[in-house]
């Protein structure tokens, strides 16, 4: 188990990563000085897998756990569900110092984090992320949000956790598609920041796919640190945080044009390849480095072409509605080589269209 301290947006907190970390939740809450009631927000799937273990460890630690269990799914990220949770917090007499534990994937983390940010203007939040995506991405950076009126993450706040406890052994239970969804963000982070990590992924991809615990611990820790470092550097207003959007300009367009039938990670994988193709066309990345990216995504069972059922014009329309468009020019994060990327604000629309048409698989 690794324990690191992370500075993120001005807050310092502990990040505990490793197999068996669920067992230290009570100990960590004690270390932070909490006692009495602990609220655990989770979903039914995660409750069925790990609810008892977390409840028992809190009881053993002398806490009074209150579990609030929601159905699984993105629809729960709503003001309505938040209102239900506020009601439950009223009922149990939660106080400003009552810790709220978000036990689950990114949906639970964003929703519970939003409730923690707003109830009594801020309850202490502990993230216990259980999907790969939540472990490497959504539990870091302090963004919390719900969806409203058909828009995603449009009602939200920044609320840093007091601790993040990441048990990599829970990833064994994840369905294959959810696991690969998170792997896209792992590969993205290595590609934009860390050549040695990318090389490690290339050489250990079989053990990654077999979910070898030692390898998982290493890749989760490395990816989480990259995100924390980028977010922290952005505090100094370098605009650097945007490089985390590598693959997301096209990715968001694909996700929304597919009516979310492609997962976020699948769409981002296609988006990374498209950004790589644009960079190659502009002479920014060498063909072998671009091939390394595409090959690793393939080996991680991620798609690298736009599926035939998707209309390229619909993808382009969705992209131009997205906030990454300024005055008809598209802002892209383009890879320069494995381990390095930069933000390019001026990618011509016709080059984007040409690239998408070329990466469209016609059945």
Ligand X SMILES: NC(=O)c1ccc[n+]([C@@H]2O[C@H](COP(=O)([O-])OP(=O)(O)OC[C@H]3O[C@@H](n4cnc5c(N)ncnc54)[C@H](O)[C@@H]3O)[C@@H](O)[C@H]2O)c1
Binding site for ligand X (CB under 6 A): 43, 45-46, 49, 72, 74, 77, 104-108, 110, 130-131, 133-134, 137-138, 141, 143, 153, 170, 173-174, 178, 181
DSSP 362: P
**CB-nearer residue toward ligand X: 92 or 210:** 210
How many whole angstroms separate alpha carbon 16 and alpha carbon 13? Answer: 10
**Number of C-beta neighbours around residue 10 at 10 A:** 10
Phi first, then psi, for residue 93 (nearest 5°) are 70, 40
The residue (of 178 and 202) whose beta carbon lies closer to ligand X is 178
Answer for the pair 55, 204: CB distance below 8 angstroms, yes or no. no
Report in angstroms how near the CB of residue 91 gets to ligand X at its nearest.
Answer: 25
Of the pair 61, 104, the CB lying nearest ligand X is at 104
Distance (Å) of CA 58 to CA 2, 40, 62, 67, 166: 21, 10, 6, 11, 16
Nearer to ligand X, 173 or 329 (CB): 173
Q: What is the DSSP string of 247-275?
A: THHHHHHHHHHTTT-S-HHHHHHHHHHHH
- CB 223, min distance to ligand X, A: 12
Task: Determine whether 67 is exposed, middle or buried from the number of CB atoms within 10 Å of its CB (0-12, 13-18, 19+).
Answer: middle
- In whole angstroms, the minimum distance from the beta carbon of 131 to ligand X comes to 3
Least Å from the CB of residue 132 to ligand X: 8
- What distance in Å separates the CA atoms of residue 333 and residue 134, rounded to the nearest whole number? 22
CB closer to ligand X out of 46 and 312: 46
Quote the least distance from Cβ 125 to ligand X, whole Å.
12
Phi, then psi, of 348 in degrees rounded to 5? -65, 140
Nearer to ligand X, 72 or 278 (CB): 72
Looking at the Cβ atoms of 228 and 338, the one nearer to ligand X is: 228
In whole angstroms, give the CA distance from residue 56 to residue 54: 5
What is the spatial distance between Cα 16 and Cα 59, in angstroms, rounded to a whole number? 21
Closest C-alpha among 73, 202, 180 to residue 133: 180
The least distance separating ligand X from the CB of residue 49, rounded to whole angstroms, comes to 6
Minimum distance, C-beta of residue 43 to ligand X, in the bound complex (Å): 5
Is the Cβ of residue 22 or residue 66 nearer to ligand X in the bound state?
A: 22
Helix (H, G, I), strand (E, B) or coil at 342: strand
User: What DSSP state is assigned to residue 124?
Assistant: -
- Least spacing, CB of residue 181 vs ligand X, in Å: 6
For the CB of residue 98, give the shortest distance to ligand X in the complex, in Å. 22
Beta strand pairing call for 37-43 and 100-104: parallel
């Amino acid at each position: 188990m690794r324990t690191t301290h992370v500075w993120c947006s001005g807050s310092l907190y502990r990040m505990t990563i490793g197999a068996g970390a669920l067992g230290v939740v009570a100990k960590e809450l004690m270390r932070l000085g909490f006692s009495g009631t602990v609220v655990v927000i989770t979903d039914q799937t995660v409750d069925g897998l790990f609810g008892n273990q977390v409840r028992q460890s809190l009881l053993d630690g002398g806490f009074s756990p209150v579990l609030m269990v929601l159905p699984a799914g993105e629809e729960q990220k709503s003001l309505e569900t938040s209102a239900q949770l506020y009601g439950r917090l009223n009922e149990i007499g939660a106080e400003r110092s009552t810790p709220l534990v978000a036990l689950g994937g990114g949906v639970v983390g964003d929703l519970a984090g939003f409730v923690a940010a707003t109830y009594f203007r801020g309850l202490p939040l502990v993230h216990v992320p259980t999907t790969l995506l939540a472990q490497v991405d959504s539990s870091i950076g302090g963004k919390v949000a719900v969806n409203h009126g058909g828009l995603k993450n449009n009602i939200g706040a920044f609320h840093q956790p007091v601790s993040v406890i990441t048990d990599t052994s829970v990833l064994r239970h994840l369905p294959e598609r959810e696991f690969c969804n998170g792997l896209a963000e792992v590969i993205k982070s290595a590609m934009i920041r860390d050549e040695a990590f990318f090389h490690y992924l290339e050489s250990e991809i079989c053990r990654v796919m077999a979910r070898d615990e030692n390898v998982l611990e290493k890749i989760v820790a490395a990816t989480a640190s990259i995100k924390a470092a980028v977010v922290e550097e952005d505090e100094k207003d370098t605009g650097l945080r945007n490089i985390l959007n590598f693959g997301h300009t096209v990715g968001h367009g694909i996700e929304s044009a597919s009516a979310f039938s492609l997962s976020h990670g699948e769409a981002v994988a296609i988006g990374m390849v498209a950004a790589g193709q644009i960079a190659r066309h502009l002479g920014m990345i060498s063909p072998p480095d671009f091939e390394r990216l595409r090959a690793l995504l393939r080996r991680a069972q991620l798609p690298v072409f736009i599926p035939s059922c998707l209309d390229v014009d619909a993808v382009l329309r969705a992209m131009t509605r997205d906030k990454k468009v300024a005055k008809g020019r598209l802002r892209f994060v383009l890879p320069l080589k494995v381990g390095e990327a930069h933000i390019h604000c001026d990618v011509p629309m016709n080059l984007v269209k040409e690239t998408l048409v070329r990466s469209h698989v016609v059945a």
